[in-house]
Amino acid sequence: MPELPEVETTRRGLEPHLVGQRIDNIVVRERRLRWPVPGQLNKQASGAKIRSVERRAKYLLIDCGAKGWIIIHLGMSGRLRVLPRSTPFSRHDHIDIVLSSGMLVRFTDPRRFGALLWTREHPSKHALLCGLGPEPLDDAFDANWLHARTRGRSVAIKLAVMNSDIVAGVGNIYANEALFRARINPRTKAGRLSLQRCAALVTAIRETLTDAIAAGGSSLRDFFGTDGSPGHFQQQYMVYARQGEPCKECGTAIRSVRLGQRSTFYCTRCQR
């Protein structure tokens, strides 16, 4: 699943092609995504001039001015590409946002777990976004916040930082990698982390996400940037998907367990 760095990479790829452009029309070939694509989407969005392309957690937000906002989630296998209008479509190319520039933004999603929705209100009021915690790269997410929100919790710290009510957008890959950087065992009970260790984890999350964005995210299965180029952060993985391989720092075999039905990777020597 594309995580925050992949979504931010997509946002940065879309921004120069969308901002200032008018939406001529939206072609919907398949409405049966995670949630049905609104039936009046083309009527609602056509003619809108795009003001900005923003991101909240793993959601992309296209500001269409007074008309409203497009909300996009890439789901498990979603991709957005900027292409000439004349580009033929394939089986899994479900939606085209056709622009006045002669280009289009094509939403492709083989598994159809993604979403493209419309809202007249600011997205912060939408049911999918209104309960989200602070962004991991924002100042509001700090050691004091993480420490306060984990008091009394017996859940594993890895699951806590993947909880969007605590911090928005930290997915499985980057939770694994950040916990390694912070030298914290992912199974540690969240409520047992001291303020000092919370500070180390906040710093590790920020550094991990920043490095991943700089590398264009991770390309493991379906993710590619808007220009078709892959991300390269997978080349920097310290623990994720490295079960049985030696730790790059101490040589101990990387271990894998299941937490919350998600694969979890860590070094038993480096992470305590």
| Structural domain count of the chain | 2
Does the annotation mark 3 as catalytic? Answer: yes
Q: Are residues 153 and 72 both part of a single domain? A: no
Residue 268's pLDDT is what? 97
- 222: CATH: 1.10.8.50
Mean pLDDT lowest for which of 109-123, 163-177, 221-235? 221-235
Q: Which of 22, 31, 67, 262 is catalytic?
A: 262
Residue 138 domain-assigned (yes or no) = no
Angstrom distances, CA of residue 108 to CA of 76, 93, 200? 11, 4, 38
Residue 13's pLDDT is what? 94
- pLDDT over threshold 60, residue 222: no
Residue 1's pLDDT is what? 72
Domain holding 172, by residue range, is: 143-266
Residue 228's pLDDT is what? 65
Q: Which of 3, 6, 135, 177 is catalytic?
A: 3
Does the annotation mark 262 as catalytic? Answer: yes
Residue 157 domain-assigned (yes or no) = yes
- pLDDT over threshold 60, residue 221: no
- 95: CATH: 3.20.190.10
Residue 250 domain-assigned (yes or no) = yes
Q: Output the average pLDDT for the chain.
A: 95
User: Rg of the Cα trace of the chain?
Assistant: 20
Q: Are residues 93 and 206 both part of a single domain? A: no
Question: Region 91-95: what's the mean pLDDT?
Answer: 97
Which of 125, 156, 180 is the C-terminal boundary of a domain? 125
The crossing angle, in degrees rounded to 10, of helices 4-18 and 195-214 is 40
Residue 70's pLDDT is what? 98
Residue 271 domain-assigned (yes or no) = no
Q: Are residues 210 and 260 both part of a single domain? A: yes
Q: Are residues 227 and 149 both part of a single domain? A: yes
Residue 33's pLDDT is what? 98
Which of 125, 156, 176 is the C-terminal boundary of a domain? 125
Q: Are residues 180 and 239 both part of a single domain? A: yes
Angstrom distances, CA of residue 78 to CA of 130, 186, 196, 211? 23, 28, 38, 22
Does the annotation mark 151 as catalytic? Answer: no
**pLDDT tens-digit readout, 180-204:** 999 999 999 999 999 999 999 999 9
Q: Are residues 109 and 14 both part of a single domain? A: yes
Q: Which of 2, 134, 136, 186 is catalytic?
A: 2
Q: Cα separation of 192 and 49, whole Å?
A: 50
* Reported confidence tier of residue 68, pLDDT bands at 50, 70, 90: very high
- pLDDT over threshold 90, residue 266: yes
Q: Which of 11, 56, 58, 181 is catalytic?
A: 58
Q: Are residues 252 and 158 both part of a single domain? A: yes
Residue 220's pLDDT is what? 54
Q: What is the DSSP string of 136-150?
A: TTSTTSSHHHHHHHH
Q: Are residues 115 and 196 both part of a single domain? A: no
- pLDDT over threshold 90, residue 2: no
pTM for this entry = 0.92
Q: Are residues 179 and 248 both part of a single domain? A: yes
Does the annotation mark 58 as catalytic? Answer: yes
Q: Are residues 147 and 262 both part of a single domain? A: yes
